[in-house]
């Protein structure tokens, strides 16, 4: 009998992969399910981005293997984007590495810096991939709790009480997913100080900074941050290009070089027309982000109404493309509420437990659904509540 590697026993199939199959079965049975769970932008990229892709894909010279470090135009465009919106200076030749999506980067970073048994600080609640990738590389997960009472920020006093001698890497994610919390003033400075003190690589995952967020911030704005930190970013959410798989990691030349050793052995570069179209996306002015956010603002009002109908509490100052809300005391947990709504109203809402047990009493709704469907979802849930 052929058996899988031991590491497979450490991880399960991704929750959304399982849930999407369940929803598909319901649809095949004739049930019309509205999916409000996943942050999958439903709006297209800018027209000029699509035009660039079409034009460049027609060129016979653009279909070969590409550089492992991305074309110079893309690295320069990322550098210009960071300078314009984050006021961070990056050397496009050595401090930026384009990625096939930032999710890929989480694996590359973990493989480049973690040995089996090394400690990894992972937020709870937090993006499940931080934990699953840590398990795949044999690292030891050390969860740190984020609570609403602390603005969904790490409690450094509690962290300092722990044995951090084995910790090699810490994942942070601000603007935060799933909670929508923003980094408080001085937070990035504090986490850089923490990283330097304990010789921990701080990894900020930053794909949500343009969605319903007035001020873009980067951990690399902190003086000396590149000595102990890196930052992931992506065009998936900010430019409606999730399926294009265009991301990046930025840090010092030394840190980038370690990640490149892994990446260059795992892929053969991105399709050149796609990279050139990404350059065009990065060159868009602020009116692009304003137009996208205008639609998200209208959708968020409807999501708030859904949360009100479910008697949930939430912070209206959240950023990003989700609304994170605490369930009422009438409900046992977010999973039970999510399952009930799916069964009775045929609307899928993400239960917070998938992000860690600190999310057990929460649910999350995506803004990546048009107003017509959000209104239909609201009406279905209202009918269920009134029965």
Shared domain check, 114 and 18: no
Which residues touch 39 (CB under 8 Å, ≥6 apart)? 177, 237, 321, 322, 366, 368
Q: Give residue 32's pLDDT.
A: 93
Distance CA 114, CA 119 (A): 8
Tell me whether residue 51 is in a domain. Answer: no
Q: What percentage of the chain reaches a pLDDT higher than 90?
A: 86
Shared domain check, 83 and 32: no
387 has pLDDT over 70 = no
Shared domain check, 70 and 38: no
Shared domain check, 232 and 142: yes
* pLDDT tens digits along 229-283: 999 999 999 999 999 999 999 999 999 999 999 999 998 889 999 999 999 999 9
Shared domain check, 191 and 246: yes
Q: Identify the domain boundary among 282, 313, 330.
A: 282
Which residues touch 217 (CB under 8 Å, ≥6 apart)? 86, 174, 182, 183, 188, 209
Shared domain check, 10 and 86: no
Distance CA 89, CA 76 (A): 11
Name the residue with tokens 């006093």.
157
Q: Give residue 297's pLDDT.
A: 97
Number of other residues whose CB lies within 10 A of the CB of residue 97: 25
221 has pLDDT over 80 = yes
β-strand partners of 362:
326
The sign of the CA dihedral 210, 214, 215, 218 is: negative
Q: Give the CA dihedral 121, 219, 216, 256, nearest 10 degrees.
A: -90
Asked if the peptide bond before residue 178 counts as cis, ω within 30 degrees of 0, the response is yes
Q: Give residue 25's pLDDT.
A: 92
**Which range of residues forms the domain containing residue 98?**
63-282
* pLDDT tens digits along 270-286: 999 999 999 999 999 99
Distance CA 280, CA 278 (A): 5
Instruction: Map residue 204 onto helix, strand or coil.
Output: strand
Name the residue with tokens 């100080």.
193
φ and ψ of 74, to 5 deg:
-70, -45
Tell me whether residue 54 is in a domain. Answer: no
**Residue 328 exposure: Cα atoms within 13 Å on the Cβ side:** 7
Q: Identify the domain boundary among 267, 282, 297.
A: 282
Shared domain check, 365 and 237: no
Distance CA 310, CA 299 (A): 17
Distance CA 191, CA 153 (A): 10
Shared domain check, 364 and 264: no
Model confidence at 19, pLDDT cuts 50, 70, 90, reads confident
Tell me whether residue 201 is in a domain. Answer: yes
Shared domain check, 82 and 16: no
Q: What is the CATH number of the domain that holds 120?
A: 3.40.640.10
β-strand partners of 326:
313, 362
Shared domain check, 301 and 234: no
Shared domain check, 225 and 96: yes
φ and ψ of 375, to 5 deg:
-65, -40
Shared domain check, 239 and 160: yes
Q: Are strands 34-35 and 119-124 parallel, antiparallel or unpaired?
A: unpaired
Model confidence at 20, pLDDT cuts 50, 70, 90, reads confident
Quick one: tokens of 280? Answer: 């065009």
Asked if the peptide bond before residue 32 counts as cis, ω within 30 degrees of 0, the response is no
Query: For the purposes of burial, counting CB atoms within 10 Å of the CB of 20, is it exposed (0-12), middle (13-18) or buried (19 or more)?
Result: middle
* pLDDT tens digits along 314-336: 999 999 999 999 999 988 999 99
């Amino acid at each position: 009998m052929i058996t899988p590697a031991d590491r497979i026993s450490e991880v399960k199939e991704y929750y959304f992969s399982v849930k999407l199959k369940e929803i598909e079965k319901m649809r095949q049975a004739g049930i019309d399910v509205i999916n409000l769970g996943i942050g999958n932008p439903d709006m297209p990229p800018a027209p000029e981005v699509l035009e660039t892709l079409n034009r460049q894909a027609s060129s016979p010279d653009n279909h070969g293997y590409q550089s492992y470090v991305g074309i110079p135009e893309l690295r320069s465009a990322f550098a210009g984007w960071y300078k314009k919106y984050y006021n961070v200076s990056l050397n496009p030749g050595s401090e930026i590495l384009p990625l096939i999506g930032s999710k890929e980067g989480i694996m590359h970073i973990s493989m480049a810096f973690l040995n089996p048994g090394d400690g990894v600080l992972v937020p709870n609640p937090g993006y499940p991939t931080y934990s699953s990738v840590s398990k795949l590389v044999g690292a030891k997960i050390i969860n740190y709790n984020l609570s609403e009472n602390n603005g969904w920020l790490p409690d450094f006093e509690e962290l300092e009480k722990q044995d951090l001698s084995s910790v090699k890497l810490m994942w942070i994610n601000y603007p935060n997913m799933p909670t929508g919390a923003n980094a408080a003033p001085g937070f990035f400075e504090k986490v850089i100080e923490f990283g330097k003190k304990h010789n921990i690589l701080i990894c900020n995952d930053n794909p949500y900074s343009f969605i319903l967020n007035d001020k873009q911030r980067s951990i690399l704005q902190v003086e000396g941050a590149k000595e102990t930190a890196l930052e992931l970013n992506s065009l998936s959410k900010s430019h409606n290009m999730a399926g294009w798989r265009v991301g990046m990691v930025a840090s010092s030349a030394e840190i980038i070089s370690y990640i490149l050793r892994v990446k260059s052995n795992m892929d053969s570069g991105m399709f050149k027309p796609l990279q050139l179209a990404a350059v065009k996306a990065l060159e868009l002015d602020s009116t692009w982000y304003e137009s996208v956010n205008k639609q998200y603002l209208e959708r968020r009002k409807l999501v708030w109404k859904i949360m009100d109908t479910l008697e949930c509490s939430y912070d209206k100052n959240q950023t990003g493309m989700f609304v994170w809300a605490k369930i009422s005391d009438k409900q046992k947990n977010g999973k039970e509420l999510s399952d009930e709504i799916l069964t009775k109203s045929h609307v899928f809402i993400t239960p917070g437990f998938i992000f860690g047990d600190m999310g057990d009493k929460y649910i999350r709704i995506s803004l990546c659904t048009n107003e017509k469907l959000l209104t239909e979802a609201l009406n279905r849930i209202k009918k269920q509540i009134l029965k």
